[in-house]
Amino acid sequence: MPQLYHFSLDPYCRRIRLVLGEYHRDAELIEERPWDDKAEFLQLNPAGLLPVFVDDDGTVAAGIEAVGEYLEDTLVDRSLSLLGENPEQRAEIRRLIAWFDGKFHHEVTAPILGEKLVRRFVSREAGGGSPNMNRVRLALKNIRPHLEYIGILTDDRNWLAGDELTLADFAAAAHLSTLDYLGDVPWRENERAKAWYQRIKSRRSFRPILADQIRNMPPPRIYADLDF
């Protein structure tokens, strides 16, 4: 069986777990905590980044860009593709993936995860300790225009990149689900973004994500609730 090196609250790993479900592919999950000693893991990805996917034939795809495209590239049943039907659609999907994996990650996910999660687990010498709440507050403010953008996109379209569900939706939902685990998404402020998230959260591929539990850090009740 293929192997996926992942960490449960990493948004990039979450996207891969979600799309594996959509593609009806199984993988053995191997947890790699981003702040642990990485000597062995660096053999798999010298950049030290998750996710890494090791296929049955030994092919290693390392990093979200490589893994995301590799799974599409090796899809046997093309009807399961989440990457659109023509170059124009694919360009729009990839623009939106970059929006969430780049801009949203930089402005929202990375500071919140860094302050509220990573600092709990690393030593004081490595930057551990109490979260810098100013940085958290700024990130929580930054999330609002992104929810508005999701609302605007889904006003005109069924899903973020068009009428079909695509990798762009899973990229966005992966980031938001990570923040939702920490109780940090102000869903009440944007009904349209919430309606979009409700639809994607109801998919079967989302179930394993909703069952995630970090030790000593349980999610809020609404995290796994489909009617949140």
Q: Would you tell me which residues interact with a second copy (CB under 8 A)?
A: 45-47, 49, 59-67, 69-70, 73-74, 87-88, 90-92, 94-95, 97-99, 102-103, 149
C-beta of residue 19 within 8 angstroms of C-beta of residue 82: yes
Q: CB-wise, 65 or 164, nearer to a second copy?
A: 65
Q: Which is nearer to a second copy, 18 or 62 (CB)?
A: 62
Decide: 56 and 1 in contact? Cβ < 8 Å: yes
Report the C-alpha gap between 9 and 182 in whole angstroms.
Answer: 10
Nearest approach in angstroms of CB 42 to a second copy is: 12
Q: What is the 3-state secondary structure (H, E, C) of 23-36?
A: CCCCCEEEECCCCC
DSSP three-state, residue 213: coil
Q: How far is the CB of 131 from a second copy (least distance, A)?
A: 22
CB of 103 to a second copy, least distance (A): 6
Measured from the CB atom, the residue of 105 and 194 that comes closer to a second copy is 105
Q: At what angle do helices 11-22 and 167-181 cross, to 10 degrees?
A: 130
Strand partners, 52: 5, 62
Nearer to a second copy, 69 or 212 (CB): 69
Partner residues linked to 206 by β-bridges: none
To a second copy, the closest distance from the beta carbon of 32 in angstroms equals: 16
Q: Which is nearer to a second copy, 1 or 133 (CB)?
A: 1
CB of 74 to a second copy, least distance (A): 5
